[in-house]
Structure 1
Amino acid sequence: MKHLVSFKNIQKTYDGFRPVVKDLNLDIKEGEFVTLLGPSGSGKTTSLMMLAGFETPTHGEIFLKDKPLHNLPPHKRDIGMVFQNYALFPHMTIEENLAFPLSVRKMNRIERAEKVRRALDMVRLNDFAKRYPAQMSGGQQQRVALARALVFEPKLVLMDEPLGALDKQLREHMQLEIKHLHKQLGLTVVYVTHDQSEALTMSDRVAVFNDGVIQQIDSPAAIYETPTKSFVAQFIGENNTLLGTVLSRDATHSSVRLKDGSIVQAITVTDAQPGESVALCIRPERVIVSAAGTTPLTARIREYIYLGDHVRMITEIAGQPDFMIKLPTAQMDSSWTVGSSISLSWAPEHIRALDVIQH
């Protein structure tokens, strides 16, 4: 499969001193759905805007189908774009909004009408052709914005927080709609969000950004289950961190002493050597709870929250007060109450020795 997009050694700075994007190298295959995920200011939107042509790299080159983009203005890049605020023309009807990118491309009227009809059909809005944006709901306007990005059949569509303004239920519905269109039309999508569940739901690959650098890029399952950095483990989903010191290590496992003297085996991911600090990361749903005294690791329940299908227990373990456990309600023992001691364990492959985040 060919690369449709390549970022090569891209740097971007606005003031000449502080880079917003640092040495970005990223290849995106044809037909892929890649999400750039990260907190505000991490460089994800700037990277998207450089690809769109609204920003210029300070250093490096971006290629589309092996052709450099630096001399091409945005409207000549043949890229569809969907924004959070829809960016529809309020004085034009829906069909006029959709026809606009086609008239810019000097398409004749008959062909234009046919493409607009197909695009409206795609997002199930045929009955709304004569309406104006102000006469439509937020979800409908976002579908129009999506149709407008697809109407000229671009090979590449960029989406910048496109569902940020919608309510939860509508957002989840639109996530599936975009995913289906991606598959159905064989589009290549580069999607920017700070919403982790959106990234996990929709993407073939997720690039997690922080401080202008991709921390990890992988499939959603790998990003969630096998993070390579503490930042990724903390940013994606819920995560527990236990701080400790490496006693010994080999290529696959580390033996780590926690603050209370307990010793835990973990998968070696960081390059920390014996005597150095590590952060042990484990997901709350991977923790196994049993009666007190059945394993060497004892925790005290500080709080528990009933959420219908599952319960969250906040516990204190190895001197750390906020270790969370997520259990199906059916596995709860009625004798576990605030103040109770319980024993904790987990499968060895679910705990990872990662870098310690420096504050």
Structure 2
Amino acid sequence: MKFLVLLYAVFFIGICNAQRLKTENVVLITLDGLRWQEVFRGVDEGLLKNKLYTKGVDALRKNFWHQNQAKRAELLMPFLWKTISHQGVLIGNRDNGSYMNVTNPAVVSYPGYSEIFTGYVDPSIDSNKKIWNPNVNVLEWIENQAGFAGKVSAFGSWNALPYILNTKRATNLTVNAGFVPVKGDLSNVEKWLNQQLADTLGTSDNTRFDAFTQGYAIEHIKKHKPRFIYIGYGDTDNFAHDGRYDLYLKAAHRSDRFIAELWDLLQQDPHYKDKTTMIITTDHGRGEMPQASWKHHGTALYMTQSDNKEYTKYQKTGIVGSDQIWAAVIGPDTPSKGLIQGKEPWQQNQIAATIASFLNLDYNQFQKKAGAPIKAVFNN
């Protein structure tokens, strides 16, 4: 099986090179724990009506509700639906035969990000415990390729990111996350962000608000012109765990605006304009039924290992739907097809090789355990 994946990857990379891909830069964005249900269906009316989870219902209805499901989704994430769906591709609308799954056995954040970045599952990574990831990831591998030295960066709201990318080993990566201020020759904006970060509480003790991650990433792009940058938003997951559906919706909507701002910035910069591919995805899904499971995610294995008392009732089944994820891609080498469907589900472990392929690099040649590139997000 590994040989077949490698053979496919080599063949596919050869095709991509023959086509002379226009992509020179890649931006990877994750929205932590944002369900495919909100992405493709918009607001969940049952959760909207439930006062246990939702405050300020009238304002939310005014801003995000529509009887038509497609309109509802567009109101929640207008850039995704007005721009990406027309100029790129979407994966993961299970209502319409498009599937994408996590393959790690825990379906929580650290294993999910490790799967995204390395392209395969390490069974020993089965929780969110902050350990130094022993597995080489696609970021540090790209940074070691010709033309990418000092041009690979990562900004995340969650303070586990340096562990996931193992900055003890990958010392050449630029990584900023959690409540750590940026350092170096700072712009006035970065100085202001650092001061505000010191004076502001986050969504949790280990996660800063996404506004800081967005601000730092934008300043870094302007100053340093990275060829690959990862931006990890965390507000959606934290508000979901808090049981605040209203704030979860607002965070999703704001993340969509952040992504639009990033795309506009890239298209106004000659270094990036028409030469940059953006990939957007999530690390895991969430529950749907029973209704209370929307707050959570994880398999039965993870639930039995957790000391969270809320997970006791899910120890036999896990959170059904946690492994269901989605993705979106826009760029000069991606077809304008909107939703794409496949006979088999696409997988989270294919993202690493897909990133590399857009940069005309063959990650599968280096890491034979990694999933193959997602062929459907490339022009034929």
Could you tell me the TM-score, scaled by structure 2's length?
0.32
Q: Which has the higher strand share?
A: 1
Q: Which has the higher contact order (CA 8 A, sep 6+)?
A: 2
Could you tell me the TM-score, scaled by structure 1's length?
0.33
Q: Which has the higher helix share?
A: 2
